[in-house]
Chains A and B, each alone.
Chain A
Amino acid sequence: MQVKFSNKGNILIVRLIGELDHHASDYVRRKIDGEMIKPTTKNIIFDLSNLSFMDSSGIGIIMGRYRAISRINGQIAVACSNAQILKLLEMSGISKVIQIFSDADKAVKSMLGVTKK
């Protein structure tokens, strides 16, 4: 499991590479939270394009960050095109509260449009 970060303004882009299960979740959570406490982070995009597997442990991680970001009135978005993961995002209700895009570029563009207003 790999976690890579990049920034676009106050958007933190979290790129997850590999398989996100309970085994990987502690490491992923620690990495993300270390980056989230930086004052430059207001919004988060989870880029799942390079994730080959995710189970409900991933739902827990995304929802946890969603709650934290909502507290500071930030936005959160997910980029994903993997059918299995999309099915999971839909059945868990994540897609009702978090916008899902087919790739990270689209998510960034939409978020910049939103945050510029």
Chain B
Amino acid sequence: MMAKDNGTASAGKKKPINEMTLIFPALSRNESFARVVAASFISQLDPSIEELADVRTAVSEAVTNAIIHGYEDKAGNIKMICLLYDDSVEITVIDEGKGIENIELARQPLYTSKPDMERSGMGFTVMETFMDEVKVESEVGKGTKVTMLKYFKSLKDKERRAKNDK
């Protein structure tokens, strides 16, 4: 059974101006690697420092979840796909781990299935707060796919200012 939530992510309509796929083993030392790669990939658009930090944080949450919940520290690969649009980025983090039984419950603030590990249960809430749209698809025994969309509002503001200066 394919569990889906009612998130509305996916820019879809437009053609990306650039794209990138990264596949790496589910090792915790790759958490920083993944967020550095995502941040430098979107840097070509020149987003604000805050927007860069938002994306770094959300990627860190999604990749950490794949490692500790999806694969539960066992071996496996994580795929990160970045689609860059002229005003936004869509980042998808995919694992082929154990999957999520109840997505709605998992997304709730403070919910964690690993309180013994001192997890805060705030990962999905962080992704939702720091990104504009978050979609979670998961199938028990098959894996999880988290798709996050971030609009770079700072670019719009820059454009507007440039126009006003004329």
Residues in A lying within 8 Å of B, measured CB to CB: 19, 21-23, 25, 29, 53, 55-57, 59-61, 63-64, 83-84, 87-88, 91-92
Contacts and interface: CB of A to CB of B under 8 A. Distances in A.
Give chain B's interface secondary structure class. Answer: helix
Chain B interface: which size bin?
20 to 34
Contacts of A59: 120, 122
Given A53-B35, A92-B125, 13 more contacts: A19-B32, A22-B28, A22-B68, A23-B29, A53-B53, A53-B56, A55-B61, A55-B126, A60-B117, A60-B118, A63-B120, A83-B53, A88-B57
Interface of B: 28-29, 31-32, 35, 50, 53-54, 56-57, 60-61, 64, 67-68, 117-120, 122-123, 125-126, 129-130
Nearest to A53: B56
Contacts, number: 67
Contact of A22 (B57, B67, B125): B67
Contacts of B122: 56, 59, 91-92
A92 to B, nearest CB: 5
